[in-house]
Structure 1
Amino acid sequence: MNLRPDPTLTPAVLAPTTPAHAMTLLSALRILLLGLAGILLGSAAGAAPLEAVYEGYLVPESFDAPIPITVEVRELHGVLVGHIKTGPPQAGSAPIASGENESGHCTLRAPINAGNVLRLTGTCHPRLFEGNYAITSTRKDTNSAGTFRLMPKANKVKPGEEGGGRRPSTPLTTLTECINANTRCLIGCPKGDYNTEFLCANRCRQRHLACKGKASASLLPPAPVRNAQPEAEER
């Protein structure tokens, strides 16, 4: 059988791509890449720093009694600061010694009482903080571990204040908080390798400078607002 190409299809198939066609493809590809970049940058810019007060229970794997816990956390350029309070049977209270938020995955560490260090790690966002915990004791070999699921603490409203005025604004970043966050960041840097330690210290420095800039901006007084009322003309 003698197979011959269809003359009606040959020009369309064998015709080389024209410069105009190539430019159209490049333009469409450029628009697609710019759109994807805009989506990624928009989502990154819209991620607000974490600031919340969580409460719930630490549930041990050993089926012991759950441990009530309250976590007050605030993010300063990737470094988490705040306070952790636990109830019986592991009562204690301490500021967060070290904390980081890596794209919604938080790690907190605090010496809740004498000889016991609590470590929380898991998914964190304003409406939920859940994951695994571990309590390491320096006085005995046994450690406690389990899971936790913390929800935002409900704001108690006093009688007569329902639907009242606006909530007080959140406290502004202070230079002291910036210094404390920078100290925790430097303490958490790995030791022994010069290059790794230098990169970590440089990252801490950049965060500290950004935090100081934010704190300085919050101290500026608001611009005065003039009352633009025309003066009454005497007749």
Structure 2
Amino acid sequence: MEKALVIGSSGGIGAAIVETLREQGVTVAGLSRREHGLDITDEASVAAHLGALAGPFDLIFVATGALHGAGQPPEKSIKALSAAAMADQFAVNCIGPALVMKHALPLLPRQGRAVFVALSARVGSIGDNALGGWISYRSAKAALNQVIHTGAIEMGRSHKGVICAALHPGTVATSFTENYAARHKTVPAAEAASNLLRVVEGLRPEDSGGFFDWQGERVVW
């Protein structure tokens, strides 16, 4: 890998991905709201920021995400559902990465191996859901998984060597999870980044469109 783009490069996982890649000698471009003014929920912003970059990139890693919507924490039950909060969750966790995928196409090689991945979450798995709750976040991540799967099919026609995948990073010790980790074992962001990049390196063409955890194990839809 020679050249990578990280969307959400100022976040806990995103910053660790950038640092780990640079330690490996990869040339990395980063984009984030905090440092560059990128708003992934605004297509004009996505188009302008990605349109200013020169590809091709061997890796495009979308590390954005949000647990809160409209200032509200994840719902404990359907009774707490808010239309505004749910719309916010979809805007950040699904529509944003979808817009990035749309405008990233010119930055990916038409031939040769490249990888497009986005951070999903195991709670977005329908088959793995036995607890309920967090309906907005779960639904937005499930929708993101569909975007990745559909995008993989379409990219397979125009960009023969591109692999698309959704990745579950595990519970990472960042500000994103500090109020929700509870009894879950957490890992430092640097360790999570190394785990995820190891999965990226191991992805094969037949894995495109899949959903994988930080160990490289396939997650059920």
TM over 0.5: no
Give the structure, 1 or 2, with the largest relative contact order (CA under 8 Å, sep 6 or more): 2
Normalising TM by the smaller chain, what interval? under 0.3
Q: Which has the higher helix share?
A: 2
TM-score, normalised to structure 2, is 0.22
Q: Which has the higher strand share?
A: 1
